[in-house]
Structure 1
Amino acid sequence: MRPVDLARGHALSTQAIRNYEEAGVLPPAARSESGYRSYTPVHAQALRTFLALRRGHCYQRSVEILRAVNRGDTDAGYRLIDLAHVELHTERARRAESAAALGGLTVTAIRSAAGQSLTVGELGRRLGMHAATLRTWESAGIVHPRRDRVTGYRMYDAECVRDAEVARQLRRGGYPLRRIAQFVSSLREAGGAAALAVFLDEWQDRFSARSRNLLNGAAQLDAYLGLLEDYRSCRS
Structure 2
Amino acid sequence: MVSKSQRPADLAREHGLSAQAVRNYESDGVLPAAPRTASGYRVYTPDHAAALRAFLALIPAYGHGPARTIMRAVVRGDTDAALRAVDEGHALLLRDRETLDQVEIAIAVLGEITPQKRITLQIGELAHRLGVTPATLRTWERAGILTPQRDRSHQRIFAEDDIRDAQLAHLLRRGGYRLDHIATVTAQIRAAGGAGLLKDSVIAWRERLTARGRAMLTAAARVEDYLSRPPQVPSPRRP
Name the TM-score class by shorter chain: 0.7 to 0.9
TM-score (norm 2): 0.72
- 1:29 pairs, out of 27, 34, 37, with 34
Q: Which moved more, 1:167-176 or 1:42-51?
A: 167-176
Aligned match of 2:54: 49
Q: Distance in 2 between matches of 1:152 and 1:24?
A: 53
For the residue of structure 2 that corresponds to 1:31, the secondary structure is: coil
8 Å CA contact retained: 1:95, 1:173: no
| Structure 1: segments with no counterpart, 5+ residues | 139-144
1:145-184 matches, cutoff 5 A: 155-163=157-165, 172=181, 175=184, 180-183=189-192
8 Å CA contact retained: 1:167, 1:180: no
- Size of the aligned set, in residue pairs, is 214
8 Å CA contact retained: 2:73, 2:81: yes
Q: Distance in 2 between matches of 1:69 and 1:153?
A: 55
8 Å CA contact retained: 1:120, 1:134: no
Structure with bigger helix share is 1
8 Å CA contact retained: 1:137, 1:177: no
Give RMSD over aligned pairs.
Answer: 3.6
1:188-207 matches, cutoff 5 A: 192=195, 194-207=196-209
Matched residues, percent identical? 36
Is it true that 1:107 corresponds to 2:111 in the alignment? yes
Alignment deviations for residues 106-133 of structure 1 (CA, whole Å, 9 cap, x no partner): 2133x345486412565583644349x6
Q: Distance in 1 between matches of 2:148 and 2:12?
A: 46
Q: Distance in 1 between matches of 2:58 and 2:154?
A: 54
User: Quick one: structure 1 residues 155 and 47, their matched pair in 2 at CA, closer, same or farther if it must change by over 3 Å?
Assistant: same
Per-residue deviation at 1:153?
Answer: 7.0
Aligned match of 1:212: 214
For the residue of structure 1 that corresponds to 2:220, the secondary structure is: helix
Q: Distance in 2 between matches of 1:180 and 1:196?
A: 6
| Structure 2: segments with no counterpart, 5+ residues | 1-5, 128-133, 173-178, 235-239
The one-letter amino acid of 1:20's match is Y
User: Quick one: structure 1 residues 6 and 20, their matched pair in 2 at CA, closer, same or farther if it must change by over 3 Å?
Assistant: same
Aligned match of 1:223: 225
Alignment deviations for residues 185-217 of structure 1 (CA, whole Å, 9 cap, x no partner): 2x3xxxx5x534323223222211110111111
Is it true that 1:13 corresponds to 2:18 in the alignment? yes
TM-score (norm 1): 0.72
8 Å CA contact retained: 1:20, 1:26: yes
- 1:80 pairs, out of 61, 82, 85, with 85
